[in-house]
C-alpha cells in the first residue's frame, strides 16, 4: 500500500465505500414479486406486499440507463426526457443568476469603494438577505403574473446577496499598497478599477459567485416544485405524485451531479483568478 | 541663492492625539534637494520620515506647508515622482515583466506594446533579472528579487524625482549589500535625483551625497545636513578605507545616539533651517586638537 499515492488510496477507499453502500442497500430490500408472478389466488385476495418498498439500486441503475440513453424525448407535458427537464432548470438558474451578477457586481464595487454607500445600503442588505427566497414567490407571482418569470426572479433574489456582499468585501479589502501603486502611476478611476481593484478583488468576488450558484441550484428545485410545468424540481414532484420512487431517486442523483458540475466550473474560474501574495 | 530643484517649505504635520488635542509630528520643516543629488534622510522611528515621504509622493497632504518641484507646488501623486515602497508593492497577479510593463504603459501611453516590453526588459536586465525570472509571479521570487523588480519599475519610468522608502529594510544584510551596489550602478548611469529613507547608517554613507538628520519627534525637524565627502564611484569595501568614513560615521552615530534626543522638542523662535555640516579630513590633515567637524553656515 505504501507505494500507492495519496490520491490512489483515496480512490480505492471511495470505491469500497460505494460498493459496500450499494450492496447493503440492495440486500436490505426484500425482493418483491412482480404482479405477473403472483398466482391468480394471490391477485384475487390482494396478497402482494402490504406496502410499496424503496427500490433497490439495481432498479435505479436500470432507470438511469433508460433515461440517459434517451434524455431529450418529449412525449407531452407530463413526459419529457431528463435532459429537457434539467435544461429548463439550468436555463432558469443561469438567467436569474446572470441578472443578479449584472446588478450585484457593479453595485458591490460601488459599496466597496464608498464607505457612505456601504453604511447607507447595509441595513437594507441585512434585512433582505436572510429572507428565504421562496417567501418572495407569492409576491413575485402576483406582481409578475407569470410563473416562469417568477421562478427566475426567485433565483435572482437568492443569488444576488452572496455576490453583492463578497464583491463589496473584496473591493473594500484591496491592499492600500496596490491602490497607492495605481495612484503613483496616475491611473484614472476606470483604469484603476479594471487593472488593479478588479484583479485584486477577483478571488473574493468569484468565491461569492460560487456560493451564489450553489444556492441558486438548491433553490430552483424548490421553486419548480411550486410553479410546476417543467424543470428538474417539477420532475421530482411529478414522479412522487406518480409514486415512481425509482425516478425520484434517479432525479435526486441527477440534481447532485449537475450541482457538482456547476460548482466545479466555478472552481476552475476561481483557480484562474487566484494569486499568491 | 537660487531655489533648489526640490524645495520643502514650512512643512507641518499634526494628527489628532485622540484626547481632543493635536500631536505635532514636525513643524515648519524645510530643506532642499538639488537636481541629480542623492539625499538620504536618517532619523529614529516616529520622527515623521515616512510622513515626509508620503507627502513628497503625493499620497498624503501636509497640515500646512508646500513642496515645490521645478518651481511648482506639487499636489497629489504624479508619474514625475516615482516611489519604491518598502514592501515592494508589486501586483501579485502579474508576472515580473508585466509589473514593469504596467508602469511603462502608464508613463508612456503612446508606446506600442512591443516597445514598452522592450523598455521593461532593458531595465529589468539592469538589475540582473533575465529570462525565466521575467515570467514568474512575485510570490515565486525572493525578497531581494522583488525589490529589484520594484527598483526597475521605478527607474524605467524616468521620474524627475525617485523616492525610496526604506527599500532595503526587509532584506537580509547580504542581499541588501548586493542590491545597494546595483542601485548605485543604475543610479550612476541615469543621474536620477533620489530621496531615500533609511535606518542604516552605513547604507546612508555608501549611497548619499547628503544626509539629512532628523531630531526625535514630536516637533521633529531636520537639524543637520551632512555632506558625504567621499568621492564616487564608491564601493562598500573601499569607502571604509577612506579617512572621512569613520569621521562621518561617528558624527552620525553620535547624532542618532544622543543629539537627536538633546535637540528634540520645539525650538523657540521658529524652526531653523538645517545646519550644513562638512567633514573632510583629507584637505585638513594637520588639524590636531581642533574640532573634528566644522559647521558651515551658508
Spatial CA neighbour of B265 closest among B222, B218, B212, B223: B218
Interface residue A14 vs chain B (CB under 8 A): no
Say if CB A182 and CB A194 are below 8 A apart.
no
Residues B6, B67: Cα–Cα separation, whole Å: 7
Say if CB B221 and CB B47 are below 8 A apart.
no
- Report the chain B residue with the minimal C-alpha distance to residue A273: B93
Q: Is the pLDDT of residue B79 over 60?
A: yes
| % of chain B at pLDDT higher than 90 | 44
Q: Do residue A276 and residue B137 have CB atoms under 8 angstroms apart?
A: yes
Say if CB B114 and CB B94 are below 8 A apart.
no
Residues A35, B52: Cα–Cα separation, whole Å: 92
Q: What is the pLDDT of residue A49?
A: 62
Residues 169-198 of A with CB under 8 A from B: 177-178, 180-181, 183-187, 195-196
- Report the chain B residue with the minimal C-alpha distance to residue A198: B93
Q: Is the pLDDT of residue A130 over 60?
A: yes
Q: What is the pLDDT of residue B185?
A: 86
Determine the average pLDDT of the residues in A7-35: 88
Determine the average pLDDT of the residues in B81-96: 92
CATH number, position A137: 1.10.3720.10
- Report the chain A residue with the minimal C-alpha distance to residue B56: A184
Q: Is the pLDDT of residue A74 over 80?
A: yes
Q: Is the pLDDT of residue B6 over 80?
A: yes
Determine the average pLDDT of the residues in B270-289: 70
The three cell numbers locating residue A54: 424503496
- Cis bond leading into B209, ω under 30°? no
Q: What is the pLDDT of residue A272?
A: 94
Contact list in A for residue B79 (CB cut-off 8 A) is 184-186
Q: What is the pLDDT of residue A32?
A: 64
Residues B8, B53: Cα–Cα separation, whole Å: 11
Spatial CA neighbour of B290 closest among B261, B249, B247, B253: B247
> How far are the Cα atoms of A11, A28, B180 from residue A210, in angstroms, in the given order?
26, 38, 46
Q: Given pLDDT bands bounded at 50, 70 and 90, which one contains residue A149?
A: very high
Does A9 fall in a domain? Answer: no
Determine the average pLDDT of the residues in A249-269: 96
Determine the average pLDDT of the residues in B167-195: 87
Spatial CA neighbour of B119 closest among B100, B135, B134, B133: B100
Residues B240, A14: Cα–Cα separation, whole Å: 68
pLDDT digits (tens, 9 = 90+) for A155-169: 999 999 999 999 999
- Report the chain A residue with the minimal C-alpha distance to residue B60: A180
Q: Given pLDDT bands bounded at 50, 70 and 90, which one contains residue A216?
A: very high
Closest CA of chain B from A108, distance in Å: 21
Interface residue A142 vs chain B (CB under 8 A): no
Q: Is the pLDDT of residue A14 over 60?
A: yes
Determine the average pLDDT of the residues in B26-44: 89
Partners of B29 in the β-ladder? B11
Contact list in B for residue A199 (CB cut-off 8 A) is 91, 93
| % of chain A at pLDDT higher than 70 | 93
Closest CA of chain B from A168, distance in Å: 20
Spatial CA neighbour of B147 closest among B122, B174, B130, B127: B127
Q: Is the pLDDT of residue B288 over 60?
A: no
Q: Given pLDDT bands bounded at 50, 70 and 90, which one contains residue B174?
A: confident
Q: What is the pLDDT of residue B294?
A: 54
Closest CA of chain A from B106, distance in Å: 6
Determine the average pLDDT of the residues in B30-56: 89
- Report the chain A residue with the minimal C-alpha distance to residue B54: A180
Determine the average pLDDT of the residues in B281-285: 65
Residues 99-158 of B with CB under 8 A from A: 102-103, 106-107, 137, 139, 157
Q: What is the pLDDT of residue B287?
A: 47
Does A51 fall in a domain? Answer: no
Q: Given pLDDT bands bounded at 50, 70 and 90, which one contains residue A182?
A: very high
Residues B81, B156: Cα–Cα separation, whole Å: 12
**What proportions of chain A, in percent to the nearest 5, are helix, strand and coil?**
80, 0, 20
Q: Is the pLDDT of residue B278 over 90?
A: no
Q: Given pLDDT bands bounded at 50, 70 and 90, which one contains residue A255?
A: very high
Quote the domain boundaries for residue A62: 57-72+79-273
Q: Kindly write down the DSSP assignment for every residue of A218-230, as one continuous string.
A: HHHHHHHHHH-SS
Q: Would the pTM of this model clear 0.90, i.e. be above it? A: no
Q: Given pLDDT bands bounded at 50, 70 and 90, which one contains residue B293?
A: low
Instruction: Return the CA Rg of chain A.
Output: 25
Q: Is the pLDDT of residue A24 over 70?
A: yes
Contact list in B for residue A183 (CB cut-off 8 A) is 58-59, 76-77
Does A30 fall in a domain? Answer: no
Q: Given pLDDT bands bounded at 50, 70 and 90, which one contains residue B210?
A: very high
Contact list in B for residue A186 (CB cut-off 8 A) is 77-79, 106
Q: Do residue B139 and residue A275 have CB atoms under 8 angstroms apart?
A: yes
DSSP code, position A244? -
Any idea where the domains of chain B sit in the sequence? 6-35+51-76+203-295
**Best residue in B80, B86, B91, B160 for a mutation probing chain A (most A CBs within 10 Å):** B91
Give how many domains chain A has, as a whole number. Answer: 1
pLDDT digits (tens, 9 = 90+) for A228-246: 889 999 999 999 998 889 9
Contact list in B for residue A177 (CB cut-off 8 A) is 85, 87, 89
Q: Is the pLDDT of residue A108 over 90?
A: yes
Q: Given pLDDT bands bounded at 50, 70 and 90, which one contains residue B270?
A: low
Q: What is the pLDDT of residue B289?
A: 46
Q: What is the pLDDT of residue B290?
A: 45
Contact list in B for residue A185 (CB cut-off 8 A) is 79, 102-103, 106-107, 157
First to last CA, chain B: 10
Angle at B223 between CA B245 and CA B74, to 5 degrees: 105
Amino acid at each position: 500500500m505504501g507505494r500507492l499515492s495519496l490520491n490512489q488510496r483515496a480512490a480505492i477507499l471511495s470505491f469500497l465505500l460505494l460498493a459496500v453502500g450499494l450492496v447493503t442497500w440492495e440486500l436490505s430490500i426484500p425482493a418483491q414479486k412482480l404482479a405477473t408472478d403472483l398466482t391468480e389466488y394471490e391477485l384475487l385476495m390482494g396478497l402482494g406486499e402490504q406496502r410499496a418498498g424503496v427500490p433497490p439500486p439495481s432498479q435505479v441503475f436500470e432507470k438511469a440507463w433508460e433515461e440517459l440513453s434517451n434524455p431529450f424525448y418529449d412525449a407531452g407535458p407530463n413526459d419529457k426526457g431528463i435532459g429537457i427537464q434539467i435544461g429548463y432548470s439550468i436555463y432558469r438558474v443561469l438567467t436569474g443568476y446572470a441578472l443578479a451578477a449584472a446588478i450585484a457586481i457593479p453595485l458591490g464595487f460601488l459599496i466597496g469603494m464608498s464607505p457612505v454607500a456601504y453604511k447607507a445600503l447595509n441595513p437594507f442588505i441585512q434585512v433582505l438577505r436572510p429572507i428565504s427566497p421562496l417567501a418572495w414567490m407569492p409576491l413575485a407571482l402576483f406582481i409578475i403574473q407569470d410563473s416562469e418569470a417568477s421562478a427566475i426572479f426567485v433565483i435572482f433574489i437568492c443569488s444576488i446577496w452572496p455576490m453583492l456582499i463578497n464583491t463589496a468585501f473584496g473591493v473594500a479589502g484591496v491592499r492600500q499598497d496596490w491602490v497607492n501603486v495605481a495612484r503613483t502611476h496616475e491611473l484614472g478611476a476606470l483604469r484603476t478599477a479594471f487593472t488593479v481593484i478588479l484583479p485584486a478583488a477577483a478571488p473574493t468576488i468569484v468565491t461569492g459567485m460560487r456560493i451564489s450558484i450553489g444556492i441558486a441550484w438548491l433553490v430552483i428545485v424548490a421553486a419548480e416544485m411550486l410553479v410546476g410545468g417543467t424543470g428538474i424540481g417539477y420532475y421530482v414532484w411529478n414522479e412522487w405524485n406518480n409514486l415512481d420512487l425509482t425516478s425520484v431517486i434517479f432525479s435526486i442523483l441527477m440534481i447532485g451531479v449537475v450541482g457538482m458540475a456547476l460548482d466545479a466550473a466555478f472552481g476552475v474560474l476561481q483557480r484562474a483568478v487566484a494569486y499568491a501574495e | 541663492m537660487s531655489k533648489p530643484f526640490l524645495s520643502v517649505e514650512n512643512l507641518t504635520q499634526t494628527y489628532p492625539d485622540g484626547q481632543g488635542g493635536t500631536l505635532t509630528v514636525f513643524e515648519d520643516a524645510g530643506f532642499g534637494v538639488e537636481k541629480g543629488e542623492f539625499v538620504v534622510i536618517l532619523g529614529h522611528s516616529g520622527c515623521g520620515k515616512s510622513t515626509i515621504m508620503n507627502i513628497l509622493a503625493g499620497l498624503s497632504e501636509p497640515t500646512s506647508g508646500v513642496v515645490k518641484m521645478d518651481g511648482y507646488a506639487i499636489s497629489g501623486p504624479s508619474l514625475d515622482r516615482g516611489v519604491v515602497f518598502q514592501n515592494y508593492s508589486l501586483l501579485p497577479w502579474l508576472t515580473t515583466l508585466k509589473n514593469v510593463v504596467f508602469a511603462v504603459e502608464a508613463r508612456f501611453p503612446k508606446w506600442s506594446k512591443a516597445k514598452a516590453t522592450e523598455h521593461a526588459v532593458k531595465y529589468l536586465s539592469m538589475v540582473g533579472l533575465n529570462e525565466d525570472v521575467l515570467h514568474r509571479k512575485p510570490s515565486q521570487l525572493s525578497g531581494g528579487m522583488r525589490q529589484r523588480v520594484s527598483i526597475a519599475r521605478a527607474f524605467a519610468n524616468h521620474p524627475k524625482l525617485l523616492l525610496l522608502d526604506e527599500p532595503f529594510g526587509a532584506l537580509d544584510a547580504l542581499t541588501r549589500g548586493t542590491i545597494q551596489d546595483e542601485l548605485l550602478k543604475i543610479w550612476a548611469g541615469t543621474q536620477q535625483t533620489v530621496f531615500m529613507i533609511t535606518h542604516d547608517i552605513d547604507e546612508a554613507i555608501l549611497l548619499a551625497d547628503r544626509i539629512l538628520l532628523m531630531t526625535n519627534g514630536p516637533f521633529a525637524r531636520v537639524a543637520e545636513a551632512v555632506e558625504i565627502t567621499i568621492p564616487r564611484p564608491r564601493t562598500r569595501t573601499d569607502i571604509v578605507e577612506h579617512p572621512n568614513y569613520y569621521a562621518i560615521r561617528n558624527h552620525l552615530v553620535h547624532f542618532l545616539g544622543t543629539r537627536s534626543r538633546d535637540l528634540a522638542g520645539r525650538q523657540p523662535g521658529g524652526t531653523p533651517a538645517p545646519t550644513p555640516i562638512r567633514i573632510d579630513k583629507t584637505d585638513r590633515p594637520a588639524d590636531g586638537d581642533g574640532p573634528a567637524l566644522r559647521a558651515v553656515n551658508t
